[in-house]
Amino acid sequence: MATENKVAAKTAVAAKAKEKKLNIEAATICPSTQQMLRRAERDGVEIAFHRANSMKACPIGADSACCKHCSMGPCRLNAKDPYSKVGVCGATIDTIQARNFARMVVSGAAAHTDHGMSMLDVFREVVRGHIKDFKIKDTDKLVSVAESIGIETQDRDIKDIATELYEELESTYTGIEGEIPFMKRVPEKTLETWRKLGIVPRGAMRELMEMMHRTHIGVDQDYENIAKHFSRTALSDGWGGSMVATEVSDILFGTPSPLSVEVDMGVLKEDHVNVIINGHEPNFFESMIVSVQDPALIQAAKDAGAKGIVLAGMCCSGAEVLSRHGIPHAGNFMSTEAVIITGAVDAMAVDVQCIKQGLATVCDCYGTKLYTTNPRAHIEGVEHIEFVEHEPRSCTDEIVIRAITRFKNRQKPVEIPKFKHTGIHGFSHEYINYMLGGTFRGSYKPLNENIINGRIRGVAGVVGCTNPRVQQDKVHLEVVKELIKNDVLVLQTGCSQITLAKFGLYTPEAAHLAGPGLQEVCETVGMPPVLGLGSCVDNSRILVAASEMVKTGGLGNCLADLPAAGSAPEWMSEKAISIGQYFVASGVYTVFGATFPITQNTKFHKLLFKGLEDWGLGTWDFAVDPIEHAHKMIAHIEKKRDALGINKKKERVLMDFEARRALDAAA
């Protein structure tokens, strides 16, 4: 198997080398990934950058002009002349595009909600005493989450509160009618809009099932009606499945607060056993943290000639434990194959989501052991060691033991890029509250005041994936730099957070890149100009923070009134579409980069880019160029500031030549 894979990979690269050579500098600005791409080419190994380079995206699919929901087709419409044709059943381009979009939302929302449900399963088993290896670590968080959904906590014991909290939160998934529990956190006027539109979510299972039903051949054939339901489905993710994932993970494993962490491939060490976790569910990672700290396993590593064991994360569970425990992070989605090329990874263990099948071949080429661990996600030809929460160490200890064996038998020369950056991560919405308000008056008031007085113009959430169809990291970096330069405070999660960390923006010193107002706030508080909140499911922290801003007052009555904007500059996954849609449905203006899955010139496109705002929600937008992307967000923020009446004209300061020169010198 291994040899076959190697031969196949090398033949593929040799064949493709003739087709079109990859321009490494144009593919990524990440120096570690560039270095690994150079080595890959020397070694004749192919990764996703090469595949994207040699495979043109399907133009009909890219236009969302294809319907394959039944076997009368697949039907191909012409996106350039969208009303010239309909499908065999008569479906119009608007129906087809709305259904395709809806199914992206379903898939993305299902990924987040299934992840959240796994966390809730662990929570239930911990509360019932069936799982002993995990426990309720953060009782303050337990109490505050319970209170936020109206559970009585006064004079009750923790087990009682936890039992009731579990029972309530279960309806986030299983509720067949009514409103899910976290609707109690939504600002009243936003909730009113949703009620009027009939999009307040019931349990996610119900919404996902109904969305799949509606997109079956011959069911919902009105793009506006489909859009209502995919908004409801997306809300069942953001305010439901994802929010439960975050809150329950905080209760079980601790709520993040700032700590200093290293990011990039330079966190690996040649003389250590290196273990990487790539995936999304923190329970697996938590157990691995315990395994690599086990004195017996550390001794075993030393007996094998290593100085110790390095554990690093990649992708989102990596971003989560980076925020929660300061575990180093080796890189984002487009670096997961590249890191294997170091030859230094002794084991990579994966769970669910954003795991490239191509890893199997690269691991074979460099002798790295790859393990799948989650029953939902096997990879053909890859060894599966199942992770069971009731006995977590049996999986994670075994993987460490195997990694130690591989360390002893490393065959390939090791080449670890030396790049790494230390930054401050771990800003939960609770910590933002505390940081800005202080212990005795923890509140969002100082943030709101700084927005009202114009030092901070507004808040942006810049999140999401990296995508080989654009230069890796470039768009994230440029968008965020432009935003902070214009005094917009940036909140981040997922792969985007890792990009900015790699480029050194997670330090208080990076405040010099911010405009004068934001810089002043950063310097007063001692915070970086970008705040990392964790993984993609932790985007729910942004929703909670935004709701707190509305409730604190002075910035309007609903989420749509806030001078705020969302962005996923290099998105690629269906989860990003679900996130985008729940931001939009929550009232947030949201810009995507790279590509947009719906072409212009259709009524459905107009609905996404204008009509939803007329419904009282937010709106989608799209820009590939990072500066244009950032300025669309800034323009929206300024529009909202105008509407709030807080854009009072700044007094003009008349400066003489000397004063101007002093200013230039300071810059």
Residues lying near ligand NFS in the complex (CB under 6 A): 280, 315-316, 332-333, 353-354, 464-465, 494-495, 536, 573, 575-576
CA distance 165 to 538: 20
CA distance 77 to 83: 9
DSSP states of 152-216: --TT--HHHHHHHHHHHHHHHHH--SS--GGGGGS-HHHHHHHHHHT-----HHHHHHHHHHHTS
Strand 259-263: give its sheet, edge to edge: 383-384, 369-372, 347-350, 273-278, 309-314, 329-331, 259-263, 421-425
> Least Å distance between CB 423 and ligand NFS?
18
> Least Å distance between CB 463 and ligand NFS?
7
Q: Which is nearer to ligand NFS, 338 or 607 (CB)?
A: 338
CA distance 30 to 20: 21
Q: Which is nearer to ligand NFS, 92 or 118 (CB)?
A: 118
> Least Å distance between CB 316 and ligand NFS?
3
Question: Does an H or E element contain 594, and which?
Answer: none
> Least Å distance between CB 246 and ligand NFS?
12
In sequence order, what are the beta bridge partners of 620?
A: 590
> Least Å distance between CB 465 and ligand NFS?
3
Question: Does an H or E element contain 365, and which?
Answer: helix 359-366
CA distance 453 to 648: 9
Half-sphere CA count of 333, side-chain side, radius 13 A: 30
Residue 181 has phi, psi (to 5 degrees) of -55, -40
Q: Which is nearer to ligand NFS, 361 or 496 (CB)?
A: 496
> Least Å distance between CB 389 and ligand NFS?
21
Q: Which is nearer to ligand NFS, 49 or 194 (CB)?
A: 49
CA distance 370 to 31: 25
SS3 state at 26: helix
Q: Which is nearer to ligand NFS, 97 or 332 (CB)?
A: 332
Cβ-in-10-Å burial (0-12, 13-18, 19+) of 581 comes to buried
Q: Which is nearer to ligand NFS, 351 or 364 (CB)?
A: 351
> Least Å distance between CB 262 and ligand NFS?
19
Q: Which is nearer to ligand NFS, 333 or 592 (CB)?
A: 333
Q: Which is nearer to ligand NFS, 82 or 580 (CB)?
A: 580
Cis peptide before 597, with omega less than 30 degrees from 0?
no
Q: Which is nearer to ligand NFS, 354 or 522 (CB)?
A: 354
> Least Å distance between CB 573 and ligand NFS?
4
Amino acid letter at 414?
V
> Least Å distance between CB 495 and ligand NFS?
4
DSSP states of 553-591: SSS-SSGGGSSEEEEETT--SHHHHHHHHHHHHHT-EEE
> Least Å distance between CB 245 and ligand NFS?
11
Q: What is the CA radius of gyration of the chain?
A: 25
How many whole angstroms from its chain centre is CA 225?
Answer: 28
Question: Does an H or E element contain 463, and which?
Answer: none
CA distance 59 to 582: 27
The answer to whether 48 and 337 are in contact (CB under 8 A) is: yes
> Least Å distance between CB 494 and ligand NFS?
3
DSSP states of 284-321: HHHHHHHHHT-HHHHHHHHHTT-S-EEEEEEHHHHHHH
Q: Which is nearer to ligand NFS, 368 or 573 (CB)?
A: 573
> Least Å distance between CB 394 and ligand NFS?
26
> Least Å distance between CB 175 and ligand NFS?
24
Q: Give, in order, the Cα–Cα distances in Å from 188 to each of 7, 191, 235, 557, 612.
A: 61, 5, 15, 8, 19
> Least Å distance between CB 536 and ligand NFS?
3
Q: Give, in order, the Cα–Cα distances in Å from 660 to each of 653, 655, 665.
A: 11, 6, 9
Q: Which is nearer to ligand NFS, 97 or 539 (CB)?
A: 539
Q: Which is nearer to ligand NFS, 131 or 465 (CB)?
A: 465
Q: Which is nearer to ligand NFS, 245 or 403 (CB)?
A: 245
Q: Give, in order, the Cα–Cα distances in Å from 471 to each of 106, 338, 476, 477.
A: 28, 15, 10, 11
DSSP states of 5-17: HHHHHHHHHHHHH
Q: Which is nearer to ligand NFS, 267 or 316 (CB)?
A: 316
> Least Å distance between CB 581 and ligand NFS?
14
> Least Å distance between CB 619 and ligand NFS?
22
Q: Which is nearer to ligand NFS, 97 or 353 (CB)?
A: 353
Q: Which is nearer to ligand NFS, 214 or 280 (CB)?
A: 280
The answer to whether 169 and 204 are in contact (CB under 8 A) is: no
